[in-house]
């Protein structure tokens, strides 16, 4: 990876972008891709779209989502402790003893998820932490002091953990789901520019908001762009670490390449083009099967308008929705390369219908 690309990756991942509050991260992303696009637009809720060849009639989307799971302050006790609601799929089990950023009206306030010491608990009666039992301590001793800090019901909270590398092979941190996807589609735009490649269609590089609460950003932007083709990238579960059951989770490994998904929302001819591209360019890949839905923005694009030929290229990830989400460096490179190479094989007015 270029030093400049890694610098952006680190800055982008470390910047909080909770669902519904993605603005600052979106600004960073847009600033990075501006040299590689012809134009851009931002929608009402903050999805950003960089466009190459904006006047072309045939439109191809490459997309990731920008938001990360988080919490909302829901109740403040008279003693100054904060109870929360989820904003997305936040896991209360990993919260106790973690440090957080609380985005108050007067700026970021540091806080911690407190938890009673082992000495004072009846261990035999211990239960897993839940959203009803976890709480934040921001150093206040009363509800009035909390208010003076600029914290109120509805204030958003994220973990403060930042990017690190593990054994020089893995990137580790919070919010790799799915800002690493935003990084990869931005890198595709950069590669097209740096390599002097021109496309016969309009390319829309989309960084969508609000995926974590139901694919909402993708739903909105798919209707606005009305594309002909959409290639989505998101993360998927590595199933090699303990506590996974391969019979249900599939056999997916970090380090063994992008994951190409089969499922009703995935257009078969587009998927097969991606597979043949991987084979022709010696990009390793894995396969996965979805059920009724992929659970990603692929579904929103596929079923928008009159139907959009859509496919999903996933990045294997360990420990999803924790503060130590983990991806392999090689997989990041190979997902980026596979999207790039696939774009070079899509023709103007490419007809992906099964028959006509």
What's the CA gap between 280 and 270, in Å, rounded?
Answer: 15
Which residues line the annotated binding site for Zn(2+)? 65, 177, 212, 234, 321
Which residues line the annotated binding site? 65, 177, 212, 234, 321
Dihedral-angle region of residue 343 (phi above 0 means left; psi in -120 to 50 means alpha; beta otherwise): alpha
Q: Is 172 exposed, middle or buried (0-12, 13-18, 19+ CB in 10 A)?
A: buried
What's the CA gap between 43 and 329, in Å, rounded?
Answer: 32
DSSP codes of every residue in 170-231: EEEES-HHHHHHHHHHHHHHHHHHHTT---SSEEEEEEES--TTTSHHHHHHHHHH--SEEE
What's the CA gap between 161 and 293, in Å, rounded?
Answer: 31
Q: Which residues are catalytic?
A: 211
Torsion angles phi and psi, residue 30, rounded to 5: -65, -40
Collapsed DSSP state (helix, strand, coil) of residue 253: coil
């Amino acid at each position: 990876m270029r030093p400049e690309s890694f610098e952006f990756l680190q800055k982008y991942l470390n910047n909080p972008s909770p669902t519904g509050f993605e603005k600052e991260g979106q600004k960073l992303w847009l600033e990075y891709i501006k040299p590689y696009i012809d134009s851009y637009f931002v929608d009402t809720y903050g999805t950003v779209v960089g466009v190459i060849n904006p006047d072309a009639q045939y439109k191809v989307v490459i997309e990731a989502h920008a938001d990360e799971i988080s919490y909302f302050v829901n109740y403040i006790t008279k003693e100054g402790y904060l109870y929360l609601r989820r904003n997305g799929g936040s896991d209360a089990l990993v919260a106790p003893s973690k440090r957080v950023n609380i985005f108050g009206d007067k700026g970021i306030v540091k806080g911690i998820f407190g938890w009673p010491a082992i000495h004072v608990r009846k261990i035999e009666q211990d239960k897993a932490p839940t959203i009803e039992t976890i709480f934040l301590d921001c150093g206040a001793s009363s509800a009035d002091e909390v208010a003076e800090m600029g914290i109120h019901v509805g204030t958003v909270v994220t973990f403060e953990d930042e990017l690190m590398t593990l054994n020089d092979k893995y990137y580790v941190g919070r919010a790799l789901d799915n800002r690493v996807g935003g990084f990869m589609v931005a890198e595709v735009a950069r590669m097209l520019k740096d390599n002097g490649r021109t496309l016969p269609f309009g390319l829309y590089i989309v960084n969508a908001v609000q995926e974590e609460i139901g694919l909402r950003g993708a739903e909105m932007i798919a209707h606005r762009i009305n594309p002909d083709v959409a290639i989505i990238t998101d993360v998927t579960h590595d199933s090699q670490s303990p506590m996974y059951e391969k019979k249900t989770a599939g056999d997916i490994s970090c380090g063994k390449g992008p994951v190409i998904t089969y499922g009703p929302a995935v257009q078969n001819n587009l998927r097969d083009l991606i597979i043949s591209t991987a084979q022709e360019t010696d990009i390793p890949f894995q396969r996965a099967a979805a059920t009724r839905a992929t659970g990603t923005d692929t579904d929103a694009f596929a079923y928008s308008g009159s139907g959009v030929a859509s496919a999903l290229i996933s990045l294997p990830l360990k420990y999803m929705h924790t503060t130590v989400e983990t991806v392999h460096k090689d997989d990041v490179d190979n997902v980026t390369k596979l999207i790039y190479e696939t774009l070079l094989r899509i023709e103007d007015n490419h007809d992906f219908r099964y028959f006509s």
